[in-house]
Amino acid sequence: MYRSRSRFTRDRRWQIAAVAGVAVVVAGVGLGVASADAAVPTVNCPQVKIGVAVPAQQQADVQRNLELLNTQITEANARLKSTVGQGGPQFIQNAILGPLKDKRIATINRIETAIGRNAAKPDLNAEGLAPCTLNQGGGASPQQNTAPPATATSAPAAAGGGDGLPTVDCPDVTIGVAVPAQQQADVQRNLELLQTQIAEANARIRSTVGQGGPQFIQNAILGPLKDKRFATINRIETAIGRNAAKPDLNAEGLAPCTLNEAGGATAEPTTAAPTTAAPTTEAPAQPGADAPAGSPVEVNGQLSVCGVQLCNEAGTAIQLRGMSSHGLQFFPNCVNAGSLSALRNDWKADFIRLSMYVQEGGLETDPTGFTNKVNGLVDQATELGLYVVVDFHILTPGDPNVNLGLAKTFFQNVTAKHADNNNVIYEIANEPNGVSWDGIKNYADQVIPVIRANSPDSVVLVGTRGFSSLGLTDGSDEKEILADPVDFKNIMYTFHFYAASHGADRRAVVARAAKELPLFVSEFGTQTFTGDGNNDFTSTDAWLDLLKANKISYGMWSLSDGRETNSAFKQGTCAGTNFNGAGVLTESGRYIRSRILTGVGNPN
């Protein structure tokens, strides 16, 4: 977050400089000619940081690609200049920023591949770092740092002379960022722990010689070692993140160790004291306490379930109002720093629900890529001080048990990354359907412990039978849940409605159920359950009034710019950079922005 704040300050300075420049020129040569140049925007691209040591053999290649990132920036700026006035409103996005992003992805990927030839292939977050924004006011673009990256020292030769037993060979965890003074001790402890883990694994190899089948070492030693390393590296990231920008140390890539079949001394990981960042004047922060002043997370802190209500850290019952994304795979450009900032600052929303479809081209097609995407978006929302609902969006098939394995891995990864966050809510199954409450509960009983292992205090949302209708769609109701509730703390049950399909009879059940069960409306629509057709704002008003009276949180489907009436943004909005104001919104978008802003009544 500090990084983005300073970027903002820098942008403002460029703008002011550019405006001042115009004023001088206007005074000197009169209106017209010179002002055009001052108004030409420039690109603003995030820094690509290589947080790992680069093997000597790959230094030149990596260096070349870093320099290429600057060439691409220069070329884009030249094109912005030479095409002033060309094309429609989307011209810059389609003809300049889009291709620039593609080039940057390819370049960053080449850097990863190069390093991966002689070391563990790092994840440099190409997806997150490729997109550039526009400095509307012009000015110099921030340049990519091309200082030669740190060289990897070659691993010490295996000492040999041992007992001939295999030893583990783990990649070095390099902390490429400065560690805040307050976190030095914690980071150091964790670095040492990495060594202890290796020593323990080697000891276990020695003490178990001859045990188990061919997979014994993998299953009983290397597997658990990987999990431990993953958690330790994550703890280092989290520690640094408490007082500085949270780094990505590539836990996924650096956790796995291989086997030195020939044995010998294991390459010792670096435990040299990490470099210290200039001390900040801020007191050591609580996790999440660095949320921007006045933001929902800064104001409310860690949530919990108190009776049937959602409570803030002070124990006061609150209602969160927000938006659900559409499928992240369907509208990849609609949830980003710009739209989240509009949600937070222009709509005064409290949360974003990240709808991670499992099927239909979602998570199952690229678990690593989509998990990284979700993790990145959680970080962006966190920087803004928004709460985030991480929605495991099952729909077809409707039995969540079908996706149990994927769910466990997904939540393990996301909670590991955000173990110390106080702003993440986990929704374990969007809309179970064609499955009994028993089946849903069975799934919940297996997934919730995975979440709680890393994130013991998080609020967890459990989908209900019949497309999260509390069972109503299947002719049942809330009583089946009351008879057999999910037996964990801080659980809420989801209820979804689509206002043009679901009316007074369902509202009566929700009013009744709300007295006995903690409910969370993680998704609703102003139209029919198809997500399309005319909006029914009269019914929606009645629903939202009921939710307000009972302090039930809600998120509207959806933060997208498609053709369906559920899309809050007008078509084409997500290709651009402006998400603020009513002008970019559809009828349902204007309605919900107004309801979120005021908590009450009527569109516009």
**Core vs surface per residue 170-193: b (16+ CB within 10 A) or e:** bbbbbbbbebbebbbebbbebbeb
Q: How far is the CB of 225 from ligand IDC (least distance, A)?
A: 39
Question: In degrees rounded to 5, what are phi and psi of residue 75?
Answer: -65, -40
Question: Of 14 and 443, which CB lies nearer to ligand IDC in the complex structure?
Answer: 443
Q: Two tokens at 548?
A: 């307000």
Q: Are strands 133-135 and 519-525 parallel, antiparallel or unpaired?
A: unpaired
Kindly give the pairing relationship between strand 424-427 and strand 460-462: parallel
Least distance from ligand IDC to the Cβ atom of residue 297, Å: 25
Cα angle vertex 564, ends 557, 399, to 5°? Answer: 55
Judged on CB neighbours under 10 Å (0-12, 13-18, 19+), 371 is buried
Please identify, using beta-carbon distances, which residue of 488 and 529 lies nearer to ligand IDC.
Answer: 529
Q: How far apart are CA 160 and CA 47, in angstroms?
A: 43
DSSP string, 202-237: HHHHHHTTT-S-TTHIIIIIIHHHHHHHHHHHHHHH
Nearer to ligand IDC, 345 or 530 (CB): 530
530 three-class SS: coil
- d(C-alpha 245, C-alpha 2), whole Å: 6
> What are the two backbone dihedrals, phi and then psi, of residue 525, each rounded to the nearest 5 degrees?
-130, 160
Give the SS3 label for residue 436.
coil
What does 492-528 look like in DSSP terms, one character per residue? Answer: EEE--EETTT--HHHHHHHHHHTTTS-EEEEEEESS-
Shortest approach of ligand IDC to residue 303 CB, angstroms? Answer: 23
CB of 531 to ligand IDC, least distance (A): 3
Report d(CA 220, CA 99) in Å as an integer.
47
The smaller minimum CB distance to ligand IDC, of residues 148 and 361, is found at 361
Q: Which chain residues interact with ligand IDC by CB under 6 A?
A: 360, 395, 430-431, 467, 496, 498, 523, 529-531, 557, 564, 566
If the CB atoms of residues 347 and 498 are measured against ligand IDC, the closer one turns out to be: 498
CB of 515 vs ligand IDC, minimal distance in Å: 25
Contact 280, 242 (CB under 8 A): no
CB of 567 to ligand IDC, least distance (A): 8
Based on the number of CB atoms within 10 Å of its own CB, is 272 exposed (0-12), middle (13-18) or buried (19 or more)? exposed
Closest CA to 175 of 229, 233, 134, 219: 233
Task: Enumerate the active-site residues.
Answer: 431, 523
Which of 200/564 has CB closer to ligand IDC? 564
Nearer to ligand IDC, 74 or 530 (CB): 530
Select the residue whose beta carbon is closest to ligand IDC and give its number: 531
Contact between 195 and 293 under an 8 Å Cβ cutoff? The reply is no
Closest approach of ligand IDC to the CB of residue 433, in Å: 9
Residue among 370 and 467 whose Cβ is closer to ligand IDC? 467
Asked whether the beta carbons of 547 and 520 are under 8 A apart, the reply is no
Q: How far is the CB of 171 from ligand IDC (least distance, A)?
A: 40
